[in-house]
Amino acid sequence: MKFDLGSAFIEEARTLMTGINEPVYRADQVYKWIHQRQAASFDEMTDLPKDLRVRLSEAAFFSVASVSNKKNDPDGTIKYLFELENHNIIDKIEYPKTYIETVLMNYRHGAALCVSTQAGCSMGCVFCASGKEGLLRDLSAGEMLAQVYAAARDSGKSISNVTLMGCGEPLHNYNSTLRFIRLLNAKAGLCMSQRRITLSTCGLTDGILKLKDEGLQITLAVSLHAPNDRVRAELMPVTRAYPLDGLLAACRRYADTTKRRVTYEYAMIMGKNDRPDHASELAAKLKNTLCHVNLIPVNSDPGSKKRGYRPSSENNIAAFKDILTKHGVQATVRRTLGSGINAACGQLVASNNH
The residues annotated with a catalytic role in the active site are: 101, 345
* CA 25, chain centre distance (Å): 33
| CB 349 within 8 Å of CB 101 | yes
Q: Which residues neighbour 128 within 8 Å (Cβ) at sequence distance 6 or greater?
A: 121, 301, 304, 346
Amino acid identity at 26: R
Pairwise CA distance, residues 63 & 254, whole Å: 33
- Torsion sign, CA atoms 251, 252, 256, 259: positive
Residue type, 310: R
d(CA 345, CA 18): 45
CB atoms within 10 A of CB 161: 19
C-alpha to C-alpha distance for 121 and 136, rounded to whole angstroms: 7
Asked if 311 contacts 49 with a C-beta cutoff of 8 angstroms, the reply is: no
Contact 127, 235 (CB under 8 A): yes
**Spatial CA neighbour of 106 closest among 299, 337, 263:** 337
Would you give the end-to-end CA distance of the chain in angstroms? Answer: 33
Read off the DSSP letter of residue 165: -
